[in-house]
Amino acid sequence: MGMFQHRYVSLAQEAIHHYLNYSEKLSCPHPLSKDLTSRSGAFVSIKKLKQLRGCIGTLEPCEPNLAMEIIENALKAALHDPRFSPVTAEELQDLTYSIDVVRPLEKITDVSDLDPRVYGLVVRSNGKQGVLLPDLEGVDSIAEQIQICRAKGEIPHDAPVEMYRFKVDRFR
């Protein structure tokens, strides 16, 4: 791939740079390519020198199009991930981005239908929810994936849950 950066990644990066430089949200690009006019959930992950620096996304589309979904979630990941302090302009040169466009959720009844390399996971119980993206470094087993989702959603390990798997299209 070399230095070529997918335009979804460029859009996320531009949204963050624009906000930090001008204190305003990037307006939706115009005209949009057909894929960016479609609606999907999307996650934006930001890393700083290989360490996670922010990750926020939507499983279902919340914006009128994918371009706005990426812009919104890029800003949330950079500025409003509760695990991290907001990204600053000084850090921008050290950041890398990946965009996961979420395909529709599929309810599963058997954990053998999971594969942490291929599918993300949503675990729901009593109005609580934990989500984990697929193919993450250090998440190698179905059991680990379920445990992390329960922890993220603050769902007790013995509470009955509904599980959904999903695929993503990942752009770096």
CATH number at residue 88: 3.30.700.20
pLDDT tens digits for range 46-92: 999 999 999 999 999 999 999 999 999 999 999 999 999 999 999 99
pTM exceeds 0.75: yes
In 10 A of CB 126, how many CB atoms?
A: 11
Are the C-beta atoms of 29 and 50 separated by less than 8 Å? no
- Please check whether residue 63 lies inside any domain of the structure: yes
Asked if residue 82 is part of any domain, the answer here is yes
pLDDT tens sequence across 97-155: 999 999 999 999 999 999 999 999 999 999 999 999 999 999 999 999 999 999 999 99
Local confidence band at 5 (pLDDT 50, 70, 90 cut-offs): confident
Same domain, 89 and 28: yes
CATH number, domain containing residue 152: 3.30.1490.150
The sign of the dihedral angle between the CA atoms of 144, 165, 149, 8 is positive
Strands 128-132 and 120-125: antiparallel
pLDDT bucket at 3, cuts 50 / 70 / 90: low
Q: 12 with 87, same domain?
A: yes
Given a cut of 70, whether residue 2 has pLDDT beyond it is no
What percent of the chain lies above the pLDDT cut of 70?
Answer: 98
The range of the structural domain enclosing residue 40 comes to 7-102
| Residue 7 clears pLDDT 60, i.e. is over it | yes
Sign of CA dihedral 15, 88, 44, 94: positive
Q: What integer pLDDT is reported at residue 20 of this predicted model?
A: 97
Indicate the SS3 state at residue 100: strand
